[in-house]
Amino acid sequence: MTDGTLTAEQIITAAQDVLRRYGPAKTTVVDVARALGVSHGSVYRHFPSKAALREAVTQRWLDESHAPLMAAVRTPGPAGARLHNWLAVLFAAKRKKALDDPELFATYMVLVAESSEVIERHLADLVGQLERIIGDGVARGEFTPVDVRATARAVFDSTVRFHDPVFAPDWGKPGIERAFDAVWDLIHAGLAKR
Question: Is there binding between residue 28 and a copy of itself (CB under 8 A)?
Answer: no
Helices (H), 75-175: 79-100, 102-114, 116-139, 148-158
Stretch that binds a copy of itself, among 2-10, 16-24, 25-33, 183-191 (CB under 8 A): 183-191
**Shortest spacing between CB 167 and a copy of itself, in angstroms:** 8
Residues contacting residue 146 through CB under 8 Å, at least 6 positions apart: 134, 138, 191
What DSSP string describes 54-83? Answer: HHHHHHHHHHHHHHHHHHHHHS-S-HHHHH
Q: 66, 86 in Cβ contact below 8 A?
A: no
Question: Is there binding between residue 34 and a copy of itself (CB under 8 A)?
Answer: no
Stretch that binds a copy of itself, among 46-54, 98-106, 117-125, 144-152 (CB under 8 A): 144-152
Q: Which of 3, 63, 120, 185 binds a copy of itself (CB under 8 A)?
A: 185
Stretch that binds a copy of itself, among 16-24, 80-88, 116-124, 139-147 (CB under 8 A): 139-147
Question: Is there binding between residue 144 and a copy of itself (CB under 8 A)?
Answer: yes
Stretch that binds a copy of itself, among 57-65, 74-82, 88-96, 180-188 (CB under 8 A): 180-188
Question: Is there binding between residue 160 and a copy of itself (CB under 8 A)?
Answer: yes
Q: Which of 2, 166, 173, 174 binds a copy of itself (CB under 8 A)?
A: 166
Q: Which contacts (CB < 8 Å, 24+ apart) does range 41-46 have?
A: 42/3, 42/6, 43/11, 45/3, 46/6, 46/7, 46/8, 46/11
2: DSSP letter: -
Question: Is there binding between residue 124 and a copy of itself (CB under 8 A)?
Answer: no
Q: 193, 144 in Cβ contact below 8 A?
A: yes
Instruction: Determine the residue type at 14.
Output: A
Binding site for a copy of itself (CB under 8 A): 144, 146-147, 150-151, 153-155, 157-161, 166, 178-179, 182-183, 185-191, 194
